[in-house]
Chain A
Amino acid sequence: MKQSNFTTWFKTGSPWVWMNAGAVAIAVIMTLGLLFLIAVRGLSHFWPADLMEAEYTIPGQPTITLIGEVTTREQVPTERLKGAGLPVDPEKSEFMERELLKVGNRDLYGADFRWIVADWLTDERYPEDIIAIERREWGNFYGYLLSVNQDGKVVEGEQARQTLEAAVERAESIYAEIRALETGDIGKINSELERLRLRERGYELDNALTADREAQIEAERAVQNAQYAELEAKLVNLYTAFNRDSLMARAMDGQEKRISLSTVVRVFRPNAMGITDKVGHYFAKLWEFVSDEPREANTEGGVFPAIFGTVMMVLLMSIIVTPFGVLAAVYLREYAKQGVVTRIIRIAVNNLAGVPSIVYGVFGLGFFIYFLGGNIDQLFFPESLPAPTLGTGGLLWASLTLALLTVPVVIVATEEGLTRIPRSLREGSLALGATKAETLWKVILPMSSPAMMTGLILAVARAAGEVAPLMLVGVVKLAPTLPLNGNYPYLHLDQKFMHLGFHIYDVGFQSPNVEAARPLVYATALLLVGVIASLNFAAVAIRNHLREKYKALEN
């Protein structure tokens, strides 16, 4: 009875409908799950987790003390642990719990992380005295503060902590001063000196290096060098002050370590922090992430240069892509006779959209960089050869390549907008005596501007996430300066730049310390997804708004 019930039900085709529904469910879960995963991993990175101290005994070995932050817990078949050479007995229990402990102190132990078997941990405790020190090199330090050496005075005990706070603050402010000096004034002098060198070389190439000119250049150079000497003296003083203080700390295995405060970014006691402190710390870290420069081969610190590079590249790309894409769409919709030519153009547009992005990279490298850039260098920048100016990857070529890549997006969106403008408006304008061009400039383009905006936003979203072509045309893992700065000519189109997407690839896959870098990669990914998702939603919102508007016009 039930069987036949099932058969009839099956025959209605309802199970197939449900299977189709299942596919939607899978797609939705995949997307949302992925976003959730990135969000959780990315956001949790900045939270100051408690530091556990415990005794750890591998059977048959002496007990050691561990201090660290538990990052993962998982169930592992005992068989596998045995395969890894641990003294476990698969007979006793089939599974064991394993924890990944971030023990920090890479300078002492070689690695930041350690896998431990949870069953062998005893006496787990969270003492408030444990300090975590974020350093500019070697990663975090976890341990106990012993003393602070301030200006030759050694302070111990409770007082040490307060002294430390003030000393760290002082070091931090000196650090900011040094950075400002190095990147600002000294950077300026260096760029001036380089320009002088190029000017001299340029005269030399033109056989126009007269004694007058040489003397003038020499004089200018002397001025710069004098300034430099002055700044250098200042810098030396700052560094002496910077390196003055240090602290002594004890690591989990009893080793005592002297840490100069010049390498310390931040000192905190996670176990002693209340929820408000933690939230404060969290946002401070978050701010550091978006506003600061990367440290330690990009595995710590912030991603500001990458954000900046991405934004600059995308802006330049927009300036290039918009007119071109809009023109093509206007031609397709307003000017061309619908026929063979428009069909070919549409095929071309679809092909441009479908060409693998890496092919654009190859084209950009070969055509823009080596062919165009190489020739431009010969013609306009002979003085800096053999060092290429535009004959190497840079902001300009990357933007051009991506403009080519995103042109179809703008075309398709603009065309859609143009289609939606009611015929009556065009005819009205023409009937009033306007020429076609006037109709276009005064009526059609303003009305379709939201559509263009949509197209542009989608193009920007696409460009922001594209990495493969950029790897060939000018993205680097670490750019020394921003492409826009205070040195002449301010906007450096020839400079290589950093990019969020490439940052993810580089830190996640090329970094020597992947485990430590991983949370930061998640955070960067979250940032990128956030930017792209909001751009997309903005585009969708504009599109919907536009549709409503024209619906009203049509009626």
Chain B
Amino acid sequence: MTMQSSPKTSRVDFNTPAMQRHRAVRHFKDHLTRWYVAVGGLGVIAAVLLIFLYLLSEVLPLFGGADIEQQERYSTPWLDVADPPLMLAMEEQGEVAIRVSESGQVTFFKTADGKLISEQSLPIPEGVTVSSFSVESPNTRRFAVGLSNGQVIIGKHNYKVTYPNDVRLITPELKFPYGAEPLILDKQGRALEHVAMSGNDSGLTLAANVGRELLVTSISRQENMMTGEVTTSQSELTLNPAQGEVDNILIDPLRQWMYVVNGGQYVDVLSLRARGELNGHYKVVAAKDATVTASNLMLGGISLIIGDSQGGLQQWFMVRGNGKPALTPVRSFDQQAGEAIQLIQPEERRKVFLTTDADGYLGIYNSTAHNNLLVEPLDKQPIRSFAIGPRADHLLVEHDNGELSYWNVDNEHPEISWSSLWGKVWYESYPEPDYVWQSTSATSESEPKLSLAPLTFGTLKAAFYAMILATPIAIAAAVYTAYFMAPGMRRKVKPIIELMEALPTVILGFLAGLWLAPLLEDNLPGIVSLLVLLPVVFISVAYLWSRMPERVRLTVPDGWEAAILIPVTMLLGWACFESSVYIEAWFFGGDMRVYLTRDLGIDFDQRNSLVVGLAMGFAVIPTIFSIAEDAVFSVPRHLTQGSLALGATPWQTMSRVVILTASPGIFSAVMIGMGRAVGETMIVLMATGNTPIMDWNIFEGMRTLSANIAVEMPESEVGSTHYRVLFLAALVLLSFTFLMNTAAELIRQRLRKKYASL
């Protein structure tokens, strides 16, 4: 063998310009790849952060409170400072406002600069003055003017919107829905000190007082269906005089209750449906020396807001408890404590009221959420009057010196506070505080009931029942598969479990709802007995098997026990279902469902928690199984072999060595399973009735956060409170699973290190 080396080794020049260029390109490509790949990797973190931050950004405005910002402040020539306002109000767009003054002058003007649009006087008879005034409720735009001759004029401001030349033109007008002729309330012609009205299509109720004497008149209108002729009839109620000096009179829109604020501290409630019978004489101010300084009804007219001379605000409404309804204090607000409350104005479309006090501060409150959104000074002096626009986006204020100011209001989500989301809330017309989720309501007058508590409860309930079923089965199966099972069988079982994991939950949900739920309902005793009998039968079969002659036992190799149990389980299942009808007939009078409801008082829904537990358990088992199996399987062999060598039985080795070592892994498996059960949507959506109730009863359904999102999100208006609350629900789900998964992953990372050191 000779080495054949060429004497003339051709030297390659690596430094030609071409090669240098080539190297530079390669170097550049290398760098580019490095960056490109790093961006990809960090993109994962970015994605998680983006999801979290985006959800948060949608949710945060919910908790923002309110903001006001002054746009204009001006004085106008037409406004007479000596003629104080009775009412200020704005139309829908907040562009045109109305001012009614004590002399009976009605002025429409532009809110932006105070430019006069039109002016007219109320049809007050000669020699008569305005002695009282009240606004029916902001959304009817009607008001009543009580006169010094015992008569009442009812007016209504109305706005026509037209688009000449594609420009919006708002034309205001003053109407008299009950005629321009004053209605006679006091036949003796005395001055009405306070007046109140409430009317609808079928009639009108007017109330007023002269001293302590209360006058109530109902005018009913009936339209003849055939001729269209309208007939009115007037009837008067005779009432007992008020118990103290009358401060205010209010009538609710249903014309059921009349509230007479009197004696500085009291409210008399009279039932208009029971011919003015006195319901009660309630003390509405807690402090001894405080007096009522302002009172008004909220939107819908159910709640009464009382403001006192010490700046306290209370919400009261009639609560129908066990006995007769009684005026009950519901909430109080003390954010403006110190100065007397002067004016209380409800918003037109939400349960929000605005107050001003003697210091010129404005307060914005939401009753349902027990939420103070804003307390800010409007002026240094007390203000004379103010109006909030129908859309609650503009505020018009008349200051003490006769100047007007126009404000922008940003108060998008007053209904949400920590207590309205998670606490018990006393809703109007409810007998007691409760957790309620009811996002859609018939009218805007009812409160949005957005308590996440029942949904969270439902989520946890569903997850709980699923985990109760899934955890033991999954862990036991994982332990057996990883440790006892013969490799041949393991190769067959694992793909089956993987397939189980891959089954779409929509299919599980559909089967649960349409197949399992009716099946369960019909065979309830069978299912219950199956659940109870399974462990018993497993042990008996095992015992019998151990008693079998060796010849038989050896036919099944070690680690194939599960294969024997498969037909046993199937047989038992069949037997239980077959005997179900008989059990039902013999023990439960033919119908277990009826028995449960009638004899035990347990409500039964067809789509209940048991169905969800079974179906979702099915979905969770493979998740827990694969991670737990992995943990058990990777326990180092020398640990188990050491234990067995020391004379421990396989089960002792399992329970004292393997499970202990693998326990963090098993724990993290359970947590990930829990995370999956909490977030699962389709199964709960399809297998429960989706009623938001709070009850641990296994035979009743629930509504979960996730199913709720799936049902309500498509119909939710973008940017609305409801929309954001659904985002909050998603954020709650995300945070919950984030905690679960992060904890599980940290545990697993530690475990991996531990195994590595073993």
B-contacting residues of A (Cβ < 8 Å)? 6, 9, 12-32, 34-35, 37-38, 74-80, 83, 90, 94-95, 323-324, 326-328, 330-332, 334-336, 343-363, 365-367, 370-371, 404, 407, 411, 435-438, 440-441, 461-462, 464-468, 471-472, 501-502, 504-505, 508-509, 514, 518, 521, 525, 528-529, 532-533, 536-537, 540
Contacts and interface: CB of A to CB of B under 8 A. Distances in A.
A17 B651 contact: yes
B749 A346 contact: yes
Given A32-B496, A356-B679, A465-B502, A16 B30 contact: no
Interface residues of B, number: 122
Contacts of A6: 543
A352 B546 contact: no
Given A348-B48, A355-B734, A505-B682, A328 B40 contact: yes
Contacts of B622: 27
18 contacts: A23-B476, A29-B573, A95-B581, A327-B43, A328-B41, A354-B740, A360-B51, A365-B713, A366-B54, A465-B504, A465-B506, A467-B506, A468-B710, A472-B710, A509-B513, A521-B510, A536-B502, A540-B495
A6 B542 CA distance: 11
B477 A532 contact: no
B524 to A, nearest CB: 12
A14 B652 CA distance: 10
User: Which of A26, A34, A359 has the most C-beta atoms of chain B within 10 angstroms of its own C-beta?
Assistant: A359
Contacts of A359: 51, 55, 679, 730, 733-734, 737
Contacts of A435: 26-27, 29-30
Nearest to A334: B37
Contacts of B738: 351, 354-355
B710 A471 contact: yes
Given A75-B581, A327-B36, A13 B651 contact: yes
A53 B43 CA distance: 67
B528 interface: no
Interface string B109-131: 00000000000000000000000
B325 interface: no
User: Which of B27, B514, B522, B746 has the most C-beta atoms of chain A within 10 angstroms of its own C-beta?
Assistant: B514
B297 interface: no
B32 interface: yes
B480 interface: yes
A505 B357 CA distance: 57
Contact of A362 (B539, B562, B590, B726): B726
Contacts of A509: 510, 513, 686
Interface string B511-543: 101110000001000000000001100110111
Nearest to B563: A25
Contacts of B27: 435
B176 interface: no
B48 A335 contact: no
A349 B654 CA distance: 32
B710 A21 contact: no
B542 A18 contact: yes
Given A345-B45, A363-B730, 10 more contacts: A28-B493, A77-B584, A347-B741, A349-B44, A351-B738, A359-B734, A359-B737, A438-B29, A532-B503, A533-B502
Contact of A351 (B36, B502, B564, B742): B742
Contacts of B509: 505
Contacts of A95: 581, 585
User: Which of B32, B475, B499, B573 has the most C-beta atoms of chain A within 10 angstroms of its own C-beta?
Assistant: B499
A326 B469 CA distance: 37
A366 B727 contact: yes
At the interface, is chain B mostly helix, strand, loop or mixed? helix
A327 B29 CA distance: 16
B618 interface: yes
B507 A407 contact: no
4 tightest Cβ-Cβ pairs between the two chains A and B: A356-B679, A13-B651, A327-B40, A331-B41
A77 B591 contact: yes
Given A17-B651, A354-B672, A358-B706, A24 B493 contact: yes
Contacts of B493: 24, 28
B502 to A, nearest CB: 5
B88 interface: no
Contacts of B733: 356, 358-359
Nearest to A326: B40
B586 to A, nearest CB: 9
A82 to B, nearest CB: 9
Given A26-B569, A533-B502, A20 B745 contact: no
A528 B496 CA distance: 17
A471 B568 CA distance: 42
B30 A437 contact: yes
B646 interface: no
Contacts of A80: 590-591
Nearest to B45: A348
A359 B459 CA distance: 14
A436 B34 contact: yes
B591 A83 contact: yes
B485 A467 contact: no
B570 interface: yes
B542 to A, nearest CB: 4
Nearest to A82: B590
A27 B497 contact: yes
Contact of B539 (A18, A83, A404): A18
Contacts of A331: 37-38, 40-42
Contacts of B741: 347, 350-351, 353-354
Contacts of A31: 496-497, 499-500, 503
A6 B33 CA distance: 68
Contacts of B505: 465, 467-468
A56 B50 CA distance: 66
B756 interface: no
Contact of B590 (A78, A328, A348): A78
Contact of B651 (A16, A90, A94, A353): A16
B484 interface: yes
User: Which of A76, A360, A525 has the most C-beta atoms of chain B within 10 angstroms of its own C-beta?
Assistant: A525
Contact of B681 (A326, A356, A508): A356
Interface in B693-713: 706, 709-710, 713
Contacts of A518: 514
Contacts of A528: 504, 506-507
A440 B32 CA distance: 13
A508 B30 contact: no
Interface string B717-731: 010000000110010
A358 B546 contact: no
A324 B40 contact: yes
B37 A335 contact: yes
Given A25-B569, A331-B40, A536 B499 contact: yes
A437 B499 contact: no
Contacts of A12: 649, 651
Nearest to B680: A356
Nearest to B749: A343
B211 to A, nearest CB: 60
B40 A20 contact: no
Contacts of A74: 522
B403 to A, nearest CB: 41
B498 interface: yes
Nearest to A353: B741
B504 A25 contact: no
Contacts of B676: 354, 356
B465 interface: no
Contacts of B660: none
B480 A90 contact: no
B534 A22 contact: yes
A537 B543 contact: no
Nearest to A81: B590
B706 A468 contact: yes
B631 to A, nearest CB: 15
Contacts of B542: 14-15, 18
B34 A77 contact: no
